[in-house]
Chains A and B, each alone.
Chain A
Amino acid sequence: MPFKGVDFYDIDSLLSEEERAVRDTVRKWVDDEVMPIIGEYYIEGKFPSQLVPQMAELGFFGANLPEKFGCAGLNNVAYGLIMQELERGDSGIRSFASVQGALVMYPIYQFGSEEQKSEWLPKLASGEAIGCFGLTEADFGSNPGGIITTARETSDGWVLNGAKMWITNGTTADVAIIWAKTGEIEDVSSIRGFIVPTSTDGFSAKDQKGKLSLRASDTSELVLEDVAVDSGALLPNSADLKSPLMSLTQARYGIAWGALGAAMACYEEAVNYSTNRVMFDKPIGGYQLQQARLAEMLTEITKGQLLALQLGRLKDKGTMTPQQVSLAKRNNVNIATDVAREARRLLGANGILSEYQSMRHMANLESVYTYEGTHDIHTLVLGQAITGMSAFS
């Protein structure tokens, strides 16, 4: 059955015709191409890479970047709706698009030279090149300023050394955006971004085994051992921790929308199940306990939708702050994890099967809750915004 989405507050009327058309295209694509296969890929622990050319062709990658680079040139609300619909399919599919667009194309667009932009952006938009983003390290997750990957300048370029962890698209990627310190290890301001082709000698990627979440996504460790790149690999306008954090703000913005998609999928599944599943002679949706579950889900999704939409309007106006993104990422992912868990419970024993979606989303969302700034870190970002006092250290 095609996905109808959730729109209890006529939020559609706040969207433009193009925004709705974009959403409906992605929605139909997810119905046709993702839903029939995703359960199987999840169980097998494989990313369905055959979808990438179609996603590129339709314009899902870096969709909010300008047309002159081969991108769709959409506004940020339309971009958010793409993320919502992709994550309705699976967080792994949305993660792929997030990384490609917000964490690879965006930093090249924002911090790259004209030459880098015209070389890489069209290739990344068309899916000819797949990218990954290397900031996090085994011992530096919430505290990325501490990274110990280094880049040392040589006569004709740079030599990079270090290891990155939890890297989405790592083994699939043709190119990696690697964040490294060009100065002393204590000098956070020396962090710069580098465009590193993954075929460069000394670069290796290894699949991270044993995941119980985001199974339909490639998560890897990267090792850089005397990786020599030419001077054109440096993103010339990247500086300090601010640059990777700006990129993460873009991705988090998409996650605030994406989580709603996962929540909507679970809610819809719960509604359908509750009206069909008969227990004690009537559909379980007729019982107060299940109604309370559904009412809570609908309420939180609707609030999250309005939050994401206004955040998108602020982003389109150019006034969005990273703290506002923190609030939306934190809230929407949190409510999505609750919705997914409650949906799974409503589904009873059937809820643990891959034939249904809720447990897959529930498990995925634990990663989404943890990556791109954990829920707790976003709490501290807001705490600092409110009080002016940092609780990070």
Chain B
Amino acid sequence: MKIAVCIKRVPDTETRIKIADDGKSIVEAGIKFTLNPYDEYAMEEALKLKEAAGEGEVIAIAVGTDSSQETIRTTLAMGADRGILLRMEDAPHDVLATARILATELRDGDYDLILFGKLAIDDYSQAVGTMVGELLGIPSVSAVATLTISDGKGTAEREIEGGVEVVEFALPAVITADKGLNEPRYPALRGIMMAKKKPLEVRDVSWDSVQVELLSLELPPARAAGRIVGEGVAGVGALIEVLKSEAKVL
């Protein structure tokens, strides 16, 4: 079983973001970058499928700048067999442009399964995985919470509003992983040392036909200070009133 896991380098979830002077990018100095958490689920699932099958290959693929090599090595430390960095000066903000670059790479790769995180926590687009499925003309299932693969086909469960949707699909297919799909492993220290010795291919790519342009980034407005609506027992009524009339949560 040959499995591709498409991954992204993103700022750590605890990061306090600062917007750069150009108003379109973030200040990267002093920020810790990590593997996108949803991609961790995708990688873990790929490794588990390979381990269950007792054979196969897991390839981590990233689109991004040179610094994404470190993120790829995180997945190699977890257990991926090799990595491919599709390198560019700066990654496009147009998700379709990114999907095209990945589709070109994946098309002739003979993959049985292509896994993504359901979204990247930096841009929340939730689009690239599904677009890649479309561009390759293969089934795609998004936000998968349970995955079973056997006899050339797959079954996936998706948590939808108020219930669970079960779908079946033929391989090859694109799956995007939701939280809860599995419990990602820690990269063992031996794995971290071995990651250095695993192949990591770097290929320069460029994108064409960018159709969406990023105009600006803005931080959310600072939260207004709290207000004490009343104290003691007398405050309860006042609070309920405010929750009804102003916050409109009751």
Is the CB of A29 closer than 8 A to any CB of chain B? Answer: yes
Q: Which of B70, B190, B195 contacts A59 (CB 8 A)?
A: B190
Query: Counting CB contacts under 8 A, is B127 at the interface?
Result: no
Q: Are B70 and A17 in contact (CB under 8 A)?
A: yes
Measured between C-beta atoms, what is the minimum distance from B15 to chain A in Å?
A: 10
Q: Are B189 and A63 in contact (CB under 8 A)?
A: yes
B192 within 8 A of A: yes
Picked from A4, A21, A58, A63, the residue with its CB within 8 Å of the CB of B14 is A4
- Are B193 and A58 within 8 A (Cβ)? no
Residues of B close to A119: CB separation below 8 A: none
A352 CA / B32 CA spacing, docked (Å): 33
Contact of B186 among A17, A58, A67 (CB under 8 A): A58
| Chain B positions 74-129 with a Cβ under 8 Å from a chain A Cβ | 74, 77
Q: Kindly supply a per-residue 1/0 record for chain A positions 357-392, scoring 1 wherever the CB is within 8 Å of any chain B CB and 0 otherwise.
A: 000000000000000000000000000000000000
Task: Say yes or no: is B73 at the interface (Cβ < 8 Å to chain A).
Answer: yes
State in angstroms the CA–CA spacing of A330 and B77 once bound together: 35
Contact A18 B186 (CB under 8 A): no
In the bound complex, do residue A25 and residue B189 qualify as a contact, i.e. CB atoms below 8 Å apart? yes
How many pairs of A and B residues are in contact by the CB < 8 Å rule?
46
* B188 part of interface (Cβ distance < 8 Å): yes
A17-B70, A21-B73, A21-B77 known; A74+B14 contact, CB < 8 A: no
A22 at the B interface (CB under 8 A): yes
Q: A4-B14, A17-B73, A21-B74 are in contact. Are A74 and B193 (CB under 8 A)?
A: yes
Contacts of A29 in B (CB 8 A): 186
Q: Which residue on B lies nearest to A72, using beta carbons? A: B189
User: Known contacts A25-B186, A25-B187: does B14 contact A18 (CB below 8 Å)?
Assistant: no
Inter-chain CA distance A74–B187, complex, in Å, is 14
Provide the bound-state CA to CA distance between A78 and B192, in Å.
11
The complex places the Cα of A210 from the Cα of B66 at a distance, in Å, of 56
A73 with B74: CB separation less than 8 A: no
Nearest chain-A residue to B69 (Cβ)?
Answer: A17
Q: B196 in the interface, Cβ–Cβ < 8 Å?
A: yes
Interface range on chain A: under 10, 10 to 19, 20 to 34, or 35 or more? 20 to 34
CA A25 to CA B191, docked complex, whole Å: 11
| A203 at interface, CB cutoff 8 A | no
Give the docked Cα–Cα distance between A28 and B46 (Å): 22
- Quick check: is A2 within 8 A (CB to CB) of the other chain? yes
Question: Which one of A4, A17, A59, A78 contacts B188 once the chains associate, using CB atoms below 8 Å?
Answer: A59
> Chain A 19-30 against B: per-residue CB contact (8 Å), 1 yes, 0 no?
001100100110
Q: Do A67 and B190 form a contact, CB below 8 Å, given A2-B14, A4-B14, A17-B73? A: yes
Q: Is the CB of B186 within 8 A of A28?
A: yes
Tell me whether B189 and A60 are in contact (CB under 8 A): yes
User: Residues 19-52 of chain B: 1 if any A CB is under 8 Å from the residue's CB, otherwise 0?
Assistant: 0000000000000000000000000000000000
With a CB–CB cut-off of 8 A, which chain A residues contact B77? 21
**Given contact pairs A2-B14, A25-B187, A58-B186, A18 touches B196 in the complex (Cβ within 8 A):** yes
Q: What interface size band does chain B fall in?
A: 10 to 19
Q: Mark B186-209, 1 if CB is under 8 A from A, else 0.
A: 111110110110000000000000
Q: Could you tell me if B192 and A22 are in contact, using CB atoms closer than 8 angstroms? A: yes
CB of B238 to closest CB in A, whole Å: 22
Q: Could you tell me the distance in whole angstroms from the C-beta of A22 to the nearest C-beta in chain B? A: 6
Q: Is the pair A21, B192 in contact by a Cβ cutoff of 8 Å?
A: yes
Is B189 a contact partner of A59 (Cβ separation < 8 A)? yes
| Complex alpha-carbon distance, A74 and B192, angstroms | 9
Return chain B residues, CB-CB under 8 Å to A17.
70, 73
B187-A21 in contact (CB<8A): yes
Pick from A2, A18, A21, A82 the residue with the most CB of B within 10 Å: A21
Task: Provide the bound-state CA to CA distance between A60 and B190, in Å.
Answer: 10
Bound together, the chains give a CA A35 to CA B214 distance in angstroms of 41
Distance in angstroms between the alpha carbons of A277 and B146 in the assembled complex: 44
Residues of A within 8 A of B186 (CB): 25, 28-29, 58
Given contacts A2-B14, A4-B14, A18-B196, are A74 and B73 in contact (CB under 8 A)?
no
Contact flags (1/0) for B163-176 with A, using CB distance below 8 Å?
A: 00000000000000
Q: Is the beta-carbon distance between A73 and B14 smaller than 8 angstroms?
A: no
Q: How far is the CB of B165 from chain A (nearest CB, A)?
A: 31
- How does the 8 Å CB contact mask read for A112-124 relative to B, with 1 for contact and 0 for none? 0000000000000
Shortest B30–chain A CB gap in Å is 8
Task: Give Cα A1–Cα B13 distance, bound, in whole angstroms.
Answer: 11
* A40 interface contact, C-beta 8 A: no
B189 x A58 contact (CB < 8 A): yes
- Min CB distance, B196 to chain A, in Å? 7
Q: Is the CB of B193 within 8 A of A73?
A: yes
Instruction: Give chain B residues whose Cβ lies under 8 Å from the Cβ of A21.
Output: 73-74, 77, 187, 192, 195
**Chain A hits for B196, CB < 8 A:** 18
| Cβ-based interface call for A184 (8 A) | no
What are the residues of chain B within 8 A of A67 when measuring CB–CB?
A: 190, 193
**A296 vs B51: C-alpha distance in the bound complex, in angstroms?**
51
In the complex the two chains form, is B189's CB within 8 Å of A22's CB?
A: yes
**What residues on B are CB-neighbors of A22 within 8 Å?**
189, 192
* C-alpha gap A316/B190 in the complex (Å): 18
**CB proximity to B under 8 Å, residues A17-65:** 17-18, 21-22, 25, 28-29, 57-60, 63
Q: Nearest 4 pairs between A and B by C-beta? A: A59-B189, A72-B189, A21-B192, A72-B190
- Give me 24 A-to-B residue pairs in the complex whose CB atoms sit less than 8 angstroms apart, sorted by A's number: A17-B70, A18-B193, A18-B195, A18-B196, A21-B73, A21-B74, A21-B192, A22-B192, A25-B186, A25-B192, A58-B186, A58-B188, A58-B189, A60-B189, A63-B189, A67-B190, A67-B193, A72-B188, A72-B189, A72-B192, A72-B193, A73-B190, A74-B193, A82-B189
Mark A residues whose CB is within 8 Å of B.
1-2, 4, 17-18, 21-22, 25, 28-29, 57-60, 63, 67, 72-74, 78, 82
Other than the given A18-B196, A58-B188, A72-B190, 5 more pairs (CB < 8 A) read: A17-B70, A18-B193, A21-B74, A60-B189, A78-B189
